[in-house]
Amino acid sequence: MANGIARKSMARTAFTRFANRRALCASGFTLAALLACASGCSTFSRSQASHQRIIQARQLTQRGVQAMHRNDWNNATKLLAEAKEYSPYDVQARIHYAETLWKTDKREEAIRELEEALQLANDDPAIHTRLGRMYLDSGDPTQAHLAANRAIECDPKYAQAWKLQGDLALLRNDLASAKLSYIRAANNGEIMDREVQLRLASTYRRLGQPSQSLACISQVHQADFGQRLPADVGIEQALAYRDLGRNLEAADCLSELAESNELSEELLFAWAECEVAAGRLARAEFAANSVLHVNPQHGPALQLVGRLPAYRQQAQEAWRR
């Protein structure tokens, strides 16, 4: 009997230990589950907060861009700076912020901002090109050239990078390289870039290829839908006509431009010379006097006026024959 009682006591003890272990395991699992849940909730909370900051940054960026379109640069700068604070990795916010800094004459800050944007998007040719343009406008063509090259490495068909290369080549007076760069810019552009065509026209003319210059000008003129010839287009057209020996057309073009634009001494004198070559001496005298009105000491214009009596006599003698 004593043995039976002992066995029952041992069984109860074993059962109690087993029950305690199960309870301990259960409590351990419960604690682990609670910790996992807490960790998951914390991660979800952080993720949700991060998502909200991104949304707020985008909304601020949108408002900043709208302010830029209204030329409200101070408000745009404030909004975009705030957007950048909400989301430091938002490349678009940084790009637009750099533009507002540039527009408000904070050029060094604008350049630094784009340099930081490139840390986030080093393969973006547009950022490289815009940074290169900022370098160029700040008087650093060396850095501008490097930026243009990096843009072309990112995208060999990026038209604006080739346009920048063309401008840099013109600055070096490397007309052949400028021509090739502008041709690539024109060929790779999705739409006709008016500035590229005009600079290419000027480069062709300076290289002694006025026919190609006129072809470029024709494309620009067609894009203007037959409106009154803009001054920059008309000037290139007139100079190309002159270089082709089409002096009457050149003179007419410059005469029309002089009616509504303040032409330089050089262009006014070119007009006078074309009028002489076209045999319209009265108009040549008027053009030469227009030069002297701007600069009474303009030597070539004074000489041309002095030669006009001889030109008239020659014209009369030719008429008699």
Task: Give the pLDDT confidence of 269-320 residue by residue, as tens digits.
Answer: 999 999 999 999 999 999 999 999 999 999 999 999 999 999 999 888 877 7
pLDDT recorded at residue 47: 56
pLDDT recorded at residue 316: 85
**Percent of the chain with pLDDT strictly greater than 90:** 64
Residue 23: band (very low, low, confident or very high) from pLDDT cuts 50, 70, 90: very low
pLDDT recorded at residue 55: 81
Spatial contact of 174 and 186, defined as CB atoms under 8 Å apart: no
197-226 in b/e form (b: 16+ CB < 10 A) is bbbbbbbbbbeebbebbbebbeebbeeeee
Query: Which token pair is 47?
Result: 């993720």
Burial of 126 (0-12, 13-18, 19+ CB in 10 A): middle
Task: State how far the Cα of 218 lies from the Cα of 196, in Å rounded to an integer.
Answer: 13
pLDDT, the chain, mean: 86
Give the architecture-level CATH label for domain 245-321: Alpha Horseshoe (1.25)
Residue 79: band (very low, low, confident or very high) from pLDDT cuts 50, 70, 90: confident
On the question of pLDDT at 29 being above 90, the answer is no
Read off the pLDDT of each residue in 52-74 and give the average, rounded to a whole number: 83
Read off the pLDDT of each residue in 227-239 and give the average, rounded to a whole number: 89
pLDDT recorded at residue 299: 97
Residues 6 or more apart in contact with residue 242 via CB below 8 angstroms: 250, 270, 273, 274
Cα dihedral across residues 42, 44, 48, 51: positive or negative:
positive
**Domain boundaries defined on the chain:** 245-321
Cα dihedral across residues 250, 244, 206, 190: positive or negative:
positive
pLDDT recorded at residue 15: 43
On the question of pLDDT at 46 being above 70, the answer is no
pTM as predicted: 0.79
On the question of pLDDT at 135 being above 80, the answer is yes
Q: Where are the beta strands (DSSP E) in 270-311?
A: none
